[in-house]
Amino acid sequence: MEFFSPSKGKLSFEETFQELIDYISASPKERYKLIIGTDSQTHLNKDVQFVTAIVIHRVGKGGRYFFRRDKLSYIESLRQRIYFETSMSLEVASRLTARLAENGYAHLNVEIHLDVGEKGETKDIIREVVGMVIGSGYDARIKPESYGASKVADKYTK
């Protein structure tokens, strides 16, 4: 699992994790949110570009983010795409929370930002994907509060 940082370039999962820990350790008394969100975009050739973002937000004082890209062949329905986005975010969250727990950061709250909202085509599946996230033990956010997916990840799906 490889990530990209706008300031550091390509990073392995372990290097990404270490960057997160270093960022938190630089100001340990601050409050942090660890956000994971995935967005996707279907391109003309029918491939679907998925981008999963990890955002470490030092509340009120900025943050850093990392992202990874995955490309898949055409996915038939929007529902399947949203489910796949959610599962990709949950996969990254699971790996991160395991590593956080091993390193004394189990207290760090993880939010999954979903690219669904009350307006538009995705409103019918909000309850389903939010249930997936909450059932996995994470907090879920939807639009307009899901900036990890709808802003950060979205920026790199084009």
φ and ψ at residue 150, rounded to 5 degrees: -80, -15
- Structure tokens of 34? 């660890």
Q: What is the pLDDT of residue 93?
A: 97
Query: Cβ distance 51 to 39 under 8 Å?
Result: yes
AA identity, residue 136? S
Candidates 83, 75, 57; CA nearest to 148 is 57
Tokens standing for 148? 């990890």
Q: Residues of the chain whose pLDDT is less than 70? A: none
Residue type, 141: R
- For residue 156, give Cα distances in angstroms to 34, 111, 124: 19, 20, 26
Type of residue numbered 107: H
pTM of the model: 0.94
The answer to whether 40 touches 49, Cβ cutoff 8 Å, is yes
Task: For residue 155, give both structure tokens.
Answer: 């920026």
- For residue 18, the model assigns a pLDDT of 97
pLDDT reported for residue 158? 81
